[in-house]
Amino acid sequence: GPYDERLGYSRQPHFLPHFYEQGFEVTGQARMSPRMQWLIKQGLFAPYREKIQAGLNIDDARGYSLYQATYPTRIYATFDEVPPLVVDTLLFIENRELLEREHPKKNPAVEWTRLARAVMDKAIQFFIPGHDVPGGSTLATQIEKFRHSPDGRTMTVRDKLQQMGSASVRAYLGGEQTFAARQEIVVSYLNTVPLAAVAGFGEVNGMGDGLWAWYGLDFAKINRLLAPSGWHLAQ
């Protein structure tokens, strides 16, 4: 998918030999566990804790930074940094039940009321071709789609099931209690959602870079305006 290509994961077998030829050494590298290999063979995306931000850091011998370039550049580092108004707006539009505390073991890959509505509308569309069918995807499955599905798209029912299964496994990496994982889904979506491309900037991913690239707005300033004590400024 686009995420795997953008971060270079899909091209490791190609460029690692070139590093060795230039005298570089790999001092540390991730290894797949037998269980991860089994899940991949079942058709799921590799379940690991994904990076929100990647880039290049060059430090001197003392550990001081000489050069730093990260992408996306402007992100929320934690859930607590996201203004509540931003969280509430996103969930109202996309995934209203995601952060419910009544179900601490909730699977964030499925929102049954939303999915049932989408299935019903799809059935109606079979008889009424012009009938509109809203999306039934949760934020968790959308992330799997735009990161790992070919071209970031859902083309078949199998693609959708693959996204839902992968999102389910990823949500329980930290255990059966999923509230923290659901908060992380909100952060990941805001930081990495694709927002097309802008001339002179290139591909845009994430709300922070999107505000800068599309509108020239300062991400930190916008968040200060949207913070609880400054809601009146944002209205």
132-172 tens-digit pLDDT: 766 678 999 999 999 999 999 988 889 999 999 999 999 99
Q: Does the structure show a pLDDT above 90 at 102?
A: yes
Query: What confidence score (pLDDT) does residue 232 get?
Result: 43
Query: What confidence score (pLDDT) does residue 134 get?
Result: 65
Longest dimension (CA), the chain: 69
Q: Does the structure show a pLDDT above 70 at 32?
A: yes
Superfamily of domain 2-234, CATH level 4: Biosynthetic peptidoglycan transglycosylase-like (1.10.3810.10)
Query: What confidence score (pLDDT) does residue 14 get?
Result: 86
**Who wins on pLDDT, 144 or 4?**
144
Identify the band that residue 116 occupies on the pLDDT scale cut at 50, 70 and 90.
confident
- pLDDT average, residue stretch 108-116: 84
Contacts for 224 with CB less than 8 Å, ≥ 6 apart: 230
Q: Does the structure show a pLDDT above 90 at 2?
A: no
What is the rounded CA–CA span in Å between residue 161 and residue 182? 19
Least confident of 118-132, 143-157, 185-199, 203-217: 118-132
Contact predicate 178/105, CB 8 Å:
yes
Contact predicate 163/155, CB 8 Å:
no
Query: Residue 189 has which token pair?
Result: 């979506």
Tell me: cis bond preceding 228? Omega within 30 of 0 counts: no
* pTM recorded for the entire structure: 0.85
- pLDDT average, residue stretch 30-49: 92
Share of the chain above pLDDT 70, in %: 96
What are the boundaries of each domain within the chain? 2-234
